[in-house]
């Protein structure tokens, strides 16, 4: 799949196409510590649907970021891990974690101050 009409597309756009969105970065972050099974992701991210989890893992696999290992046993066992290529994104994701840790309080306070309040008109 060619992401850009030409080879000079924005590299940030390319990176975000790989780890952007609500779930890919989170799934990636949890694989930094080692292999994960499908149901482990379900416990880690309880609000992700099974369909979305499957889709996001398949996209990461299709981009060569994640390796999917299927064990021939009953019940079937599948593990997901980062590839060597995927590990090249590790510093970026860890910097995102650090930024989130460092700025959580500021953002929560700022969002509380600036969120739209109930502006109901009193008559």
Residue at 48 is within a domain: yes
Quote the pLDDT of residue 116.
82
DSSP state of 47: T
Based on the number of CB atoms within 10 Å of its own CB, is 117 exposed (0-12), middle (13-18) or buried (19 or more)?
A: exposed
Residue at 104 is within a domain: yes
Residue at 63 is within a domain: yes
Residue at 3 is within a domain: no
Number of domains observed in the structure of the chain: 1
Q: Are strands 36-37 and 77-82 parallel, antiparallel or unpaired?
A: antiparallel
Q: Are strands 36-37 and 66-71 parallel, antiparallel or unpaired?
A: unpaired
Higher pLDDT, 4 or 24: 24
CATH code: domain of residue 20: 1.10.10.10
Residue at 4 is within a domain: no
Residue at 118 is within a domain: no
User: E strand or H helix at 71, and its extent?
Assistant: strand 66-71
Residue at 40 is within a domain: yes
Residue at 105 is within a domain: yes
Span 13-30, pLDDT tens digits: 999 999 999 999 999 999
Quote the pLDDT of residue 123.
44
Query: Which range is least confidently modeled, 4-18, 31-45, 60-74?
Result: 4-18
CA distance 41 to 31: 9
For residue 11, is pLDDT > 80?
A: yes
Domain that includes residue 106, residue range:
11-113
Quote the pLDDT of residue 3.
56
For residue 50, is pLDDT > 90?
A: yes
Quote the pLDDT of residue 108.
94
């Amino acid at each position: 799949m060619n992401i850009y009409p030409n080879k000079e597309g924005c590299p940030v756009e390319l990176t975000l196409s790989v780890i952007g969105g609500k779930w890919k970065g989170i799934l990636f972050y949890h694989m930094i510590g080692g292999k994960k099974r499908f149901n482990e992701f379900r416990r880690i991210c309880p609000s992700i649907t099974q369909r979305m989890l499957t889709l996001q893992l398949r996209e990461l696999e299709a981009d060569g970021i994640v390796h999917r290992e299927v064990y021939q046993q009953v019940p079937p066992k599948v593990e997901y891990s980062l590839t060597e290529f995927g590990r090249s994104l590790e510093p970026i994701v860890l910097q995102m974690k650090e930024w989130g840790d460092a700025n959580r309080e500021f953002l929560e306070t700022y969002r509380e101050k600036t969120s739209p309040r109930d502006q109901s008109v009193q008559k």
